[in-house]
Each structure stands twice: as C-alpha cells, then as structure tokens.
Structure 1
Amino acid sequence: MDITPDQAREALGSVDGARRRVADDLGLPRSYWWAMAASWIVLGVISAFAPPWVTTVATIAFGAAHSAIASRLFDGRRASTHVRPARSVADRRIPLIVIGILLTAVAVTVAAALVLDADGARHPSIGAAVFVAVILGFGGPQIFDDIRRRVGA
C-alpha cells in the first residue's frame, strides 16, 4: 500500500499527539499524597511526645518505607489503571520532582515549627506537621502537575 508523504506526516502527528496526551495524564496516585500527609502527622506527633532517639528512628523508618514504596511509583506510570505506557513516555525527572517536593515540605515544616514555637505553641511540631500534611494531601497532586509542566517533564 502506497502512503503519500502528507499521509505519513498526518499519521506521525496523530501518534505524537496521542503520546503527549498519555504523558500529560501520568503522575502519582492521589493515595500516595494522602499517605504522605498521614505519615507527616504521625512524625509530628512522635516528635512532640517521644524522646529524640525515637523520633530519629521513626524518621529513618519513614525514609526507608517511603523509598521502598515510592520507588515503584516514581516512574509515573501508575496513574491510570487502563493504560500502562512505555517507560520512554514517563519522564525521568519525575523522581527529582518528588524529592524536591519532599525537601520543600521538610523546610516548610521546620520553618512553621520554629514560628509556632516562637509564638508559644504547646506542640509546634504537631501544628507544623498538620499544616504541611494539609498542603500535601489536598495540594500534592496539583503541585506535582504544575512543577512537571513547568520543567517539561
């Protein structure tokens, strides 16, 4: 069957458009963000009531558990149960975006705890953890998508 150059260009354009639409739908499941938010609150409560060594162990355990779970999600290919795109469609910068969000969440938590402590709050770590957990739970997917689009991932 003979295909003209115009037909070939049109077909390739359609394929590229479909690939971009699938890539735009990739991301992390909403449950990831809510689990992160809940874990953040648990760490805040632990740090408020437990000795420092328990807080340290809990933080390390959180990091290890997050690494084990998130590494399966970081490829960004699990947002849809209907489509599992090729690894080449999911951008390799997705893990960097998530790590950046986590580091920002840590910085915001520390800053909020310091502000709450200076204001005389009884348990500043809990207040700061809840503040960041709300941001992660409700805003995590949107923040992730916004950053991903800005960096072209």
Structure 2
Amino acid sequence: MKATFGAGCFWHVEDLFRKTRGVKSTKVGYTGGMLANPTYEEVCTDETGHAEAVEVEYDPDEISYDELLRVFWENHDPTSLNRQGPDVGRQYRSAIFFHNDEQKEMAKKSKEKLETSGKFQKPIVTEIQPAPEFFKAEDYHQKYFQKHGLS
C-alpha cells in the first residue's frame, strides 16, 4: 500500500520512514502544486505550490496506517505553518495526502485526537487532502541521509 506525507525537508522525513519496520520503500518528491514535473529549484521558489513529500510503500500486514500516522505526528511540528525549523516556505508545510477514503478518515481522526490531547498550545495546521500526482525528486535527493552517512 501507499502513503504520502509532507513534514518539512523530505530528507529527514524519508530517513525516518525508511527505518520504520513494515515500510518496504520510500521516495522523495513534490506533490500538491500547479506545475508538472517540477525541479527542486522551481519548488524552492515557493511559487509552484508543491510540498516536499515522501511517498511510502508499506506492507499493511507488518505496519498499520495508524502507525505511519504516529511516526508522522511525532517527528515534526504540526503547529508550524509553512515551516519546519529553519526551513521556511509552503513547500515545507505539514500535510497528509490520502490515497483512499479509509486513509482520509484515519488521518482526520488522528488529527482530531491530537488536537484534543492538550499536547500543543497552538492549533494544528496540518492539511489533509487527496493525494495528487507525485513527482519523484532528482536522484541526488533520494535516500540523501543514507548516501551521506547521516543515517
């Protein structure tokens, strides 16, 4: 099965999911924008509307979508609008791109649960929307942390 998340710079997000049991493969790319086949340089202008995202292929017999959502929520700040740490721009937004109605409902419920948990003082700004076309990023971005000994 497939899941897609945006949670800031895709290098870090990809590394987290790649190391998660039950995840079979990951790829980083761009989704949710207005331009077909955008380049990294185009996305970095913050004018294409794309989010840096990670597409995760997973085995639902080994890991649930709820568990993937847990990894997503626990590893970024969902209250930070269009930024994560020093990275600023719409391309770094917090987003869940669902692939079917079940994922949509699970994402909404997990967001609602987190909103009422009292964990955050600010509102959660994470977008939940249908997964649009995913454009794979350039090869040098794939498994970046692993390639550079940062993982």
TM range, normalised to the smaller chain?
A: under 0.3
TM-score, normalization by structure 2: 0.27
TM-score, normalization by structure 1: 0.27
Give the strand-richer structure, 1 or 2. Answer: 2
Higher Cα radius of gyration: 1
Give the helix-richer structure, 1 or 2. Answer: 1
